[in-house]
């Protein structure tokens, strides 16, 4: 090997050793210059010649990675309006790029479809949703520099009723705003003299699915009140009677065990003795006020306080609807 060739190899080795490793690869727009050299003997003289330089400009690579960050299905109670899934989007291309986002909740193979609510972008990079995180605006998709990452929070509603343990999936899809397609697909420069783009292994579009799981035994309570005054009307006045009704809904498939409904007697009222009732599909039955074997009782909590608490220890209930009522008098 000639001295010139040896020097070229040594120089190249130094350059490669000094080049920093980049997950996104060589930055777009980088110009690679290559020039060949030859050395030979002619009539006893050492001759060296160089070729013309060859120039190559690195295209923009459109590539990305999207992962669902929750380790297991997120628990959601039926009827919950906003249950959150967390995703992480990483620009694995070699230049800045904006990414559009789409949520799909109608997917095959799951047991319910989450109800789309909202989508937020992590503003401070802490990976947790907080007040300053901004909602996603399709008109201004988030832009990430090469190697940068962004947490994305997808909020969905959980429908009701649902069987305990039912699961539902939500798919987030991210796409490079300047184009996607089969790996190797090329896009011309967007401006004269600019740099073209080529689609990387991801196709410049990726999806990730997160999932929710309904609570094992969802129980819903709805409370209402009606007033009957001493004059036959419904005015909430002294001496009027308030009937409190609590609807208890148990969603299956399994029974709810050791279920107790409790309600404190409100201030400025007094419990009306003997007014406890339980209604089921079999009819309505009165319950005693005493702590005994039926499914109603009135207790003083704490002892000596004069404050009454109504309790309905309903025990094991199969899926269905149940109604408990009690009455108080306005003082």
What CATH number is associated with residue 113?
A: 2.60.40.10
Asked if residue 210 and residue 83 are part of one domain, the reply reads yes
Cis omega (within 30 of 0) for bond into 161: yes
- Least Cα distance to 164 among 112, 114, 211 occurs for 112
Asked if residue 154 and residue 86 are part of one domain, the reply reads yes
- 1-5, 145-149, 250-254 — which one is most confidently predicted on average? 145-149
Asked if residue 65 and residue 208 are part of one domain, the reply reads yes
* Span 103-126, pLDDT tens digits: 999 999 999 999 988 999 999 999
Asked if residue 106 and residue 38 are part of one domain, the reply reads no
Q: Which of 214, 245, 277 marks a domain boundary? A: 214
What's the confidence (pLDDT) of residue 173? 97
Query: Which residues in 23-33 are b (16+ Cβ under 10 Å) and which e?
Result: ebbeebeeeee
Q: Which of 58, 76, 105 marks a domain boundary? A: 58
Asked if residue 263 and residue 324 are part of one domain, the reply reads yes
- Least Cα distance to 263 among 288, 243, 241, 290 occurs for 243
Q: Which of 163, 196, 214 marks a domain boundary? A: 214
Instruction: Please count the structural domains in the chain.
Output: 3
Asked if residue 200 and residue 70 are part of one domain, the reply reads yes
Asked if residue 137 and residue 30 are part of one domain, the reply reads no
Share of the chain above pLDDT 70, in %: 82
Q: How confident is the model at residue 24 (pLDDT cuts 50, 70, 90)?
A: low
Asked if residue 85 and residue 49 are part of one domain, the reply reads no
Asked if residue 310 and residue 269 are part of one domain, the reply reads yes
Cis omega (within 30 of 0) for bond into 302: yes
- Least Cα distance to 100 among 142, 68, 134 occurs for 142
* Span 280-300, pLDDT tens digits: 988 999 999 999 999 999 999
- CATH code assigned at 303: 2.60.40.740
Asked if residue 234 and residue 118 are part of one domain, the reply reads no
What's the confidence (pLDDT) of residue 79? 86
Asked if residue 200 and residue 109 are part of one domain, the reply reads yes
Going across the sheet that includes 197-199, the strands are 60-62, 197-199, 186-187
The answer to whether the Cα torsion of 283, 288, 293, 298 is positive or negative is positive
Q: How confident is the model at residue 20 (pLDDT cuts 50, 70, 90)?
A: very low
Asked if residue 99 and residue 199 are part of one domain, the reply reads yes
Domain that holds residue 27: 3-58
């Amino acid at each position: 090997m000639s001295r010139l060739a040896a020097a070229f190899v040594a120089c190249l080795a130094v350059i490669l050793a000094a080049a920093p490793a980049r997950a996104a690869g060589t930055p777009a727009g980088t110009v690679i210059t290559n020039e060949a050299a030859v050395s030979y003997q002619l009539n006893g003289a050492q001759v060296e010649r160089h070729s013309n330089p060859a120039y190559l400009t690195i295209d923009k690579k459109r590539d990305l990675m999207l992962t669902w960050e929750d380790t297991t299905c997120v628990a959601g109670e039926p009827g919950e309006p906003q249950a959150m899934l967390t995703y992480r989007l990483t620009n694995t291309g070699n230049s800045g790029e904006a990414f559009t986002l789409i949520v799909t909740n109608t997917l095959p193979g799951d047991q319910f479809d989450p109800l789309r609510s909202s989508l937020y972008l992590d503003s401070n990079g802490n990976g947790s949703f907080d007040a300053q995180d901004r909602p996603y605006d399709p008109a201004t998709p988030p832009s990430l520099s090469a190697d940068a990452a962004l947490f994305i929070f997808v909020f969905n509603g959980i429908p009701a009723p649902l069987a305990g343990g039912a699961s539902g999936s939500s798919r987030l899809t991210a796409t490079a705003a300047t184009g996607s397609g089969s790996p190797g697909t090329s896009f011309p420069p967007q401006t004269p003299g600019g740099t073209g783009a080529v689609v990387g292994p991801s196709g410049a579009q990726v999806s990730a699915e997160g999932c929710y799981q309904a609570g094992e035994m969802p129980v819903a309570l709805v409370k209402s009140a009606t007033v009957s005054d001493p004059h036959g009307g419904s005015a909430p006045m002294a001496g009027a009677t308030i009937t409190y009704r609590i609807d208890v809904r148990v969603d299956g498939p399994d029974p709810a065990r050791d279920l107790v409904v409790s309600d404190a007697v409100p201030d400025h009222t007094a419990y009306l003795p003997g007014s406890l009732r339980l209604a089921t599909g079999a009819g309505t039955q009165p319950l005693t006020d005493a702590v005994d074997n039926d499914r109603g009782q009135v207790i003083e909590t704490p002892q000596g306080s004069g404050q009454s608490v109504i309790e309905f220890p309903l025990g094991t209930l199969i899926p269905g609807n149940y109604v408990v009522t009690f009455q108080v008098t306005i003082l």
